[in-house]
Amino acid sequence: MSSEKIDVRYVAKLARIALTDDEVERFGAQLGDLLEHVQALAELDVDAVPATAQVVESRNVQRVDAVRPTLDRETVLAQAPQRQGPFFRVPRIIAEAE
C-alpha cells in the first residue's frame, strides 16, 4: 500500500463531483488522514487469504421470464427534473457537427 498524496481533483472528476478550491484543500487533508489510518491493513499478511465480497450464503438468482406489473410510467416520469413526452430530457451529449 502506498501513502502517496491523493489527487483530489482527479478523483472528483472520476466521481463527477465539482469541488471548490476550499473543498479540494479540506477534503485532501481529511482523506489523507483517513488513508494514513487505513495503512494499518498493510501489517496484515493476507497473501493466502481469499477476499470476501459477501459473508452470508448467496447464489445467483434468476426469475421466470414473464411479464409482471411494473411501475407506472407517468408516476415515474412525473419525478423527472425535465421530460419530453415519454422521455427523460438531458442536456446535449454529442456535439453538433461543425
Give the residue, chosen from 37, 66, 96, 97, that forms a contact with other proteins under the rule CB under 8 A: 37
Tell which one of 21, 38, 85, 96 touches other proteins (CB under 8 A): 38
- Residue 86 to residues 12, 15, 73, 77, Cα–Cα distance (Å): 33, 29, 8, 7
Nearest approach in angstroms of CB 65 to other proteins is: 14
Rule CB under 8 A: say whether 33 interacts with other proteins.
Answer: yes
Rg of the chain, C-alpha, whole Å = 23
How many distinct helices (H) and strands (E) make up the chain? 3, 2
**Cell numbers representing residue 22 in the block:** 476550499
* Interaction residues for other proteins, span 39-98 (CB under 8 A): 39-42, 44, 46, 49-58, 61, 63, 71-72, 75-76, 79-82, 88, 90-93
Contact predicate 12/19, CB 8 Å: yes
Cell (9 digits) for 87: 422521455
- Contact positions vs other proteins (CB under 8 A): 1-2, 6, 8, 11-12, 14-19, 23, 27, 30-31, 33-35, 37-42, 44, 46, 49-58, 61, 63, 71-72, 75-76, 79-82, 88, 90-93
